[in-house]
């Protein structure tokens, strides 16, 4: 492929007729980037509309389309860092040429990047292992820490289903085919659990800022689903107070215990969101270390595929409402103490400490 796997489209066809124009929902934005070395871009881009650019990039087998107003570029997997640098979305403010949408198509020396509708199938084939094939590795977290989303990512990165200690029919219907497998069958690559499991071969401990995890689990309990939100008035009274106290205690106790027994991989939910590929690679390496027979030769392509479609159907979206802080002063102090204690344990065991946002966030 041409320099940096980059291809510019020469669009010479006439605009779509009404009956052949691709149906388009609001496109999924992948950010705003500025040119850092335009001279490395040896191919010219030619005029395009927003819809034509996305359509043609997909038709040519590309997962990403980018526009600098009316100039269209296609990318296969990622934006080349030697040519572009990601910047604030506000720097891409040009309206899209001849396209009646709310999208913005780049700026002065900026490109707006979008995901095309081309399906990436490199990470969609997932299967169960043979009975006894894998070590019993627990994916342990406090409820509300993103365990379901992390399972989705691990399954697609390894090609092997994950299991669970507590069965959930809604997750099985949603595609988690290892949900009803016995943890002792050892035919899943990891097993979801919300506590420490002594009778296991190791733990991936998924840690999320307890301020966020406690609210997320309260949302789940009070919205009857894995992706809903509770009404604000429910964040008051004895039920909420008991929930905060119990969850904060569990958050510290479970992780401390898992660390004590060793063979743990620490995975922070926030780091996973911030740098998905890097943290998935580390997680796959931990699983490979415990399961030498695990086939990981295609892991790089599988993770690129995941980056294209990382959300899945079970990642709770943020509420559209304004920021809401339901914590009392005493609750904030209690949770902060728990964070500091866990930080000490992690340091004592030479394990990664939490992001600075745990003790410097909008709740405090």
For the domain that residue 196 is a member of, what is the CATH number? 3.40.50
pLDDT at 3: 40
Of 202, 217, 203, 211, which is closest to residue 146 (Cα–Cα)?
Answer: 217
Task: Answer whether residue 19 is part of any domain.
Answer: yes
- Give pTM, 2 decimals: 0.81
pLDDT at 21: 33
The CA-to-CA distance between both ends of the chain, in Å, stands at 50
- Which is it for strands 110-115 and 64-68: parallel, antiparallel or unpaired? antiparallel
Coil, strand, or helix at residue 47?
strand
User: Which of 10-19, 53-62, 198-207 is the most confident on average?
Assistant: 198-207
Percent of the chain with pLDDT over 90: 70
Task: Answer whether residue 166 is part of any domain.
Answer: yes
Per-residue pLDDT of 285-311, as tens digits, reads 999 999 999 999 999 999 999 988 776
Question: Is the same domain home to 207 and 328?
Answer: yes
Number of H helices, E strands in the chain: 9, 11
Which whole number is the average pLDDT over 49-55? Answer: 91
Q: Which domain holds residue 38?
A: 3-115
Question: Is the same domain home to 110 and 253?
Answer: no
Which whole number is the average pLDDT over 139-166? Answer: 96
Which whole number is the average pLDDT over 99-106? Answer: 77
CA dist 195 and 313 (Å) reads 24
* 43 or 109, greater pLDDT: 109
Per-residue pLDDT of 310-323, as tens digits, reads 765 555 555 545 67
pLDDT band at 46 (very low <50, low <70, confident <90, very high): confident
Helix residue ranges, H only, the chain: 50-59, 147-158, 169-173, 210-223, 237-261, 269-274, 276-290, 299-308, 329-348
Question: Is the same domain home to 215 and 159?
Answer: yes
| pLDDT of 280 over the 60 cut | yes
Question: Is the same domain home to 311 and 183?
Answer: yes
pLDDT at 154: 97
Calculate the alpha carbon distances from 336 to 210, 223, 233, 357, 363 in Å. 9, 27, 24, 11, 11
Quote the mean pLDDT of the chain. 87
Task: Answer whether residue 40 is part of any domain.
Answer: yes
Burial of 269 (0-12, 13-18, 19+ CB in 10 A): buried
Task: Answer whether residue 51 is part of any domain.
Answer: yes
pLDDT at 227: 53
pLDDT at 47: 82
Task: Answer whether residue 320 is part of any domain.
Answer: yes
State which of 85, 115, 145 marks the end of a domain: 115
pLDDT at 15: 33
* DSSP string covering 133-199: -S--EEEEE-TTSSHHHHHHHHHHHHSB--EESS--HHHHHTT-TTTTS-GGG--SS-EEESS--SS
Task: Answer whether residue 132 is part of any domain.
Answer: no
Question: Is the same domain home to 142 and 17?
Answer: no
Cross-strand pairs, 138: 191, 203
pLDDT at 223: 76
Question: Is the same domain home to 110 and 197?
Answer: no
| pLDDT of 224 over the 70 cut | no
Task: Answer whether residue 121 is part of any domain.
Answer: no
pLDDT at 311: 67
Question: Is the same domain home to 195 and 310?
Answer: yes
pLDDT band at 37 (very low <50, low <70, confident <90, very high): confident
Which whole number is the average pLDDT over 183-187? Answer: 97
| pLDDT of 101 over the 80 cut | no
State which of 115, 148, 165 marks the end of a domain: 115
Question: Is the same domain home to 330 and 283?
Answer: yes
Per-residue pLDDT of 228-273, as tens digits, reads 677 888 888 899 999 999 999 999 999 999 999 999 999 999 999 9
CA dist 302 and 186 (Å) reads 23
Which whole number is the average pLDDT over 94-106? Answer: 79
Contact 281, 303 (CB under 8 A): yes
Total domains, the chain: 2
Report the C-alpha dihedral over residues 212, 145, 254, 155, rounded to 10 degrees: -170
Task: Answer whether residue 65 is part of any domain.
Answer: yes
pLDDT at 237: 87
Question: Is the same domain home to 63 and 97?
Answer: yes
Question: Is the same domain home to 159 and 294?
Answer: yes
Question: Is the same domain home to 352 and 237?
Answer: yes
Question: Is the same domain home to 144 and 271?
Answer: yes
């Amino acid at each position: 492929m041409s320099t940096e796997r980059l291809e510019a489209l020469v669009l010479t066809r006439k605009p779509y007729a009404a009956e052949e124009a691709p149906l388009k929902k609001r496109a999924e934005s992948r950010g705003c980037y500025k040119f850092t070395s335009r001279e490395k871009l040896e191919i010219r881009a030619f005029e395009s509309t927003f819809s034509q650019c996305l359509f043609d990039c997909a038709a040519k087998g590309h997962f990403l389309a980018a526009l600098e107003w009316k100039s269209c570029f296609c990318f296969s997997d990622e934006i080349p860092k030697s040519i572009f640098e990601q910047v604030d979305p506000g720097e891409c403010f040009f309206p899209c040429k001849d396209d009646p949408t709310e999208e913005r198509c780049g700026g002065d020396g900026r490109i707006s990047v979008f995901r095309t509708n081309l399906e990436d199938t490199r990470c969609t084939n997932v299967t169960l292992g043979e009975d006894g094939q894998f070590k019993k590795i627990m994916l342990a977290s406090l409820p509300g820490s993103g365990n379901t989303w992390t399972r989705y990512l691990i399954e697609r990165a390894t090609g092997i289903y994950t299991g669970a200690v507590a069965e959930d029919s809604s997750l099985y219907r949603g595609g988690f085919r290892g949900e009803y497998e016995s943890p002792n069958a050892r035919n899943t690559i990891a097993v979801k659990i919300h506590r420490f499991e002594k009778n296991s071969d190791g733990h991936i401990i998924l840690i999320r800022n307890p301020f966020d995890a406690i609210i997320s689990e309260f949302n789940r309990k009070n919205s009857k689903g894995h992706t809903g939100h509770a009404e604000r008035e429910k964040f008051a009274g004895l039920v909420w107070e008991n929930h905060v106290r119990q969850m904060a205690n569990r958050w510290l106790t479970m992780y401390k215990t898992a660390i004590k027994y060793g063979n743990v991989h620490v995975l922070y939910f926030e780091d996973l969101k911030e740098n998905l590929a890097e943290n998935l690679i580390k997680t796959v390496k931990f699983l490979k270390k415990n399961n030498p027979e695990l086939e990981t030769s295609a892991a790089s392509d599988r993770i690129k595929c995941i980056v294209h479609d990382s959300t899945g159907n079970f990642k709770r979206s943020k509420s559209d409402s304004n920021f809401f802080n339901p914590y009392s002063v005493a609750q904030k102090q209690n949770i902060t103490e728990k964070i500091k204690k866990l930080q000490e344990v992690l340091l004592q065991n030479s394990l990664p400490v939490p992001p600075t946002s745990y003790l410097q966030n909008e709740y405090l």
